Amino acid sequence: MPHPDVSLPQCPVPRTFFTERGRFLLTWDGGPVLGEVQDDGALHLDVPADATRVPAGARIGLDGDAVLFVEAREVLVTVQLDGTRAAVVESALGGPSERWHAALPPARHGSWTLTDVVAGRDETGADCLVLTVQDAEGAVEFHQIGAGLPTRAHRPAVPGQLLHWDLRCDAAVVREDRGPSEPRLHLERPLSGAAPRSVTARWADGWDGRGLLIETPADDAARLAVWDLSTSSTTPVTCPAGHLDDARLARDGSGRILVVTTVDGSDTLHVCHPGDGGIRPLPLGGTGRLRIRTAGPRGIGLYRVSTLDGSGWLWWDHGTALHRAEGAVHRHPGRATLSHAWYGRTPVLRYLPEGPAVAAVVTLHGGPESLERDELRWDGLYRELLDARVAVLGLNYCGSTGYGPRHTRRAWHAWADAFREDLESCVAAAAERGVRPPGIALLGGSFGGALALLGCVLRPDLAGAVASAPLIDIRRHAEHAATADPSYRDWFEARFDLTESAPPDRRVFDPAHLTTTAPGQRVVLVHGSEDEVTQWRHSRLAADEAARRGLPWTLVTEAGAGHVPADPDEAEQRYRNIRSALLDVLRIDPEARTARP
């Protein structure tokens, strides 16, 4: 049965946040120029009042098989494929549009299907488009097209996604996905036909004959490298301290690189100079999560979001400072604080309310190889908890990334012992603030949901847990993943005990073990019926087993929803369900905002 709902504020953050983070940052014209696809299927532009280059109220049609924003020219491109004829419409943000056509060679089997389009450069340096097309038998080709230019076809030597095309240096970069392992990038030579050269890395950017790679060695921190696309050589880049998250090449010919790193759960921004190894920070004036959204000749734009500082847009114009504009999520008006703390070996993002805390929530991110950041987690729920005088401990448990390979690997095949240490550290920290275990709840999503249930098993004196889309049966989940990609089997076996004959407490993430919570602990599972990552039926079976044991578990089924919300209505629904469940587990009256003894 559905969990009882509670009232929401007049302007809930979830809907606002979902809508804003889906908008496109296209350029900067006295402020952010944002695009939003509306119900008419067109991209509507929202521009600053004093914009000079982009007219207000602009609307660009998106009719086509593929759509691409070409950052280098600030034009939106739509491509419609009809047999061997490609119809292209290029619409500038300033208003004018151009329509042209290109002829493709016939497919060997059946007809072409357009699957992707990227912007590139031909051998003369002219702008072009490169279509990825597939015939009836699955054969893939790349077709370079341009207005008034002949089509050039290239059949890739390695199947994968085309990331970059620049025939000035005879380069086509193709990404081969390898399931849970780092992707392999193949540098192909469409003009010479030379054998591909390959690297194992994540592609961050490509510009002017260079690729920007994020390499992740097995026993070392991630590092940045520049890939010379002419010679196939790589050169390491000296980066700022922290967990390397993303980077872009400056489009001003300086060779500089804008780098985002995460330090103590919050993102930092630096400009790196590969020539002399120099690193210069760009002051942000607060904490938060940074997402690079566009990179063009005018600059690099980012979206920033923080639990307490709200949201905003940033623009680096290749100068010495950042331009800023407020977003739709306003700053939290209270006096809550955020700090990063170490409880022994346990790193935590600590959100504390104004005044003494009446309860505490330990939050657990998914993954496990991800990390808790200050990024408006759970769609602003932390704000309401802080207003209700509930402390929030965002736990980067052992097994998380962001704190070095040793912290990540220490949990492998020892999850119960590793998580027990983390949990005990948080319980002890809450006790120092006057919150006893019956006033502590666990909140987790996906793999974090499984940890929330495990925490109740390890500490039967806690109030309970709320698990969103939990990964309850790790063995069956691994089997399901391996059917799609066999490499997942090795990935899971390296981290978890998947032996069916092992006792449940050794398998740890097993429904027979996770449903041994204490009789007084309230547990709520919130799961979408169409979850494509974790399986709703595993939550159903676990809830039934708990009911058979007489335990106070509740399953809240979100009909038609997936692993994460797909639209503003689903985002608000999940927020309501999680909020209602968590306040119930903590026995907090949402109106009185005080904890019941």
Q: Is the pLDDT of residue 28 over 60?
A: yes
Q: Is the pLDDT of residue 505 over 90?
A: no
Q: Are 453 and 471 in contact (CB under 8 A)?
A: no
Only one residue has tokens 């806690």, namely 462
What is the sign, positive or negative, of the torsion defined by CA atoms of 471, 448, 284, 245? negative
> Which helix (H) or strand (E) covers residue 419, if one does?
helix 415-432
The per-residue pLDDT for range 277-297, each reduced to its tens digit, is: 899 999 998 899 999 999 999
Q: What amino acid is encoded at 181 in this protein?
A: S
What are 504-508's contacts with CB under 8 Å, separation 24+? 505/416, 507/474, 507/475, 508/415, 508/416, 508/454, 508/474
pLDDT at 363: 98
Q: Is the pLDDT of residue 9 over 50?
A: no
Give the mean model confidence (pLDDT) for residues 38-46.
91
pLDDT at 507: 78
pLDDT at 478: 92
- DSSP 8-state code for residue 425: H
pLDDT at 11: 46
pLDDT at 484: 86
Q: Which of 497, 388, 378 is nearest to 435 (CA)?
A: 388
Longest Cα pair distance anywhere in the chain, in angstroms? Answer: 77
Confidence bin at 104 (pLDDT 50/70/90): very high
Could you tell me the end-to-end alpha-carbon distance of the chain, in angstroms, rounded to an integer? Answer: 27
Q: How far is CA 449 from CA 363, 364, 444, in A?
A: 9, 7, 4
Structure tokens at 191: 């003009």
Q: Is the pLDDT of residue 597 over 80?
A: no
- CA 186, distance to chain mean position in Å, is 24
Architecture of domain 337-474+510-595: 3-Layer(aba) Sandwich (3.40)
Task: Give residues with Cβ within 8 angstroms of 60, minimum separation 6.
Answer: 35, 42, 43, 45, 76, 91, 97
The per-residue pLDDT for range 423-475, each reduced to its tens digit, is: 999 999 999 999 999 999 999 999 999 999 999 999 999 999 999 999 999 99
Cα–Cα distance measured from residue 380 to residue 374, given in angstroms and rounded to the nearest whole number: 11
Q: Is the pLDDT of residue 503 over 80?
A: no
Cα–Cα distance measured from residue 415 to residue 413, given in angstroms and rounded to the nearest whole number: 6
What is the residue-wise DSSP string for 319-348?
SSSEEEEE-SSPPP-S--EEEEEEETTEEE
- Rounded mean pLDDT of the chain? 92
The per-residue pLDDT for range 317-350, each reduced to its tens digit, is: 999 889 999 999 999 998 999 999 999 999 999 9
Q: Is the pLDDT of residue 590 over 70?
A: no
Domain extent listing, the chain: 337-474+510-595
- DSSP 8-state code for residue 195: P
Strand segments (E) across 426-583: 440-445, 464-468, 522-528, 553-558
What is the sign, positive or negative, of the torsion defined by CA atoms of 562, 508, 579, 372? negative
Confidence bin at 592 (pLDDT 50/70/90): low
Cα–Cα distance measured from residue 515 to residue 548, given in angstroms and rounded to the nearest whole number: 10
Exposed, middle or buried: residue 30 (CB in 10 Å: 0-12, 13-18, 19+)? middle
